[in-house]
Amino acid sequence: MLFGGYSGQAFTPAGDKGRYVLPPLFRKAVKESSEARVLCLAKHDRWNCLTGFGLSRKLELEQQLDREEEMALRLNRDFDREVRSSQLNGFVEIPFDDSGRFVMPEYLRDLANVGDGLFFQGGGRFFTLWNPEELLRMDDAWAAAKAACKALVDEAQAKGRTK
């Protein structure tokens, strides 16, 4: 099956024992990309969030480095290939169960200020995982994601009150 990328939004509250849940839409895409239940997570290099993807993206990272280096040369900008390579390849591979539950390393939670829940935003070849409070600090370019996040958090809180 051809991997179609990551799209959509979802929110999941934090579970017990420091576990989080990869929402079904993203779980399916990661499984297709990885041909396994392995989630790759890293700190995003510019935003205060995490980036997630499946194992198939590992094959693209060297090509991405080549493109970024070429662009920097064309624009006469500095480019440290080693630093950028370390950023791109500094992800951790995390197994998840059939229900999508996974344990996020504490250092990643700290780096992205992850709290009581995660908002997932599709981004094509990757997706981002946000503390909703951090997403709300982003500029108006993120208006649609912020609106979706607020609606999904409100929905989860309403469900929590009815239990």
What is the set of domains in the chain, with CATH numbers? 9-55+90-162 (3.40.1550.20)
- Per-residue confidence (pLDDT) for residue 162, from 0 to 100: 63
Both structure tokens of 142 = 């993120």
- Per-residue confidence (pLDDT) for residue 2, from 0 to 100: 58
d(CA 18, CA 29): 23
- Per-residue confidence (pLDDT) for residue 72, from 0 to 100: 95
- Per-residue confidence (pLDDT) for residue 163, from 0 to 100: 56
Positions of the chain with pLDDT under 50: none
Of 51, 53, 50, 41, the residue nearest 111 (C-alpha)? 50
pLDDT tens-digit profile of 68-103?
999 999 999 999 999 999 888 889 999 999 999 999
Of 145, 126, 123, the residue nearest 134 (C-alpha)? 145
- Per-residue confidence (pLDDT) for residue 60, from 0 to 100: 85
Look at the pTM and tell me if it is higher than 0.85: yes
d(CA 74, CA 68): 10
- Per-residue confidence (pLDDT) for residue 45, from 0 to 100: 87
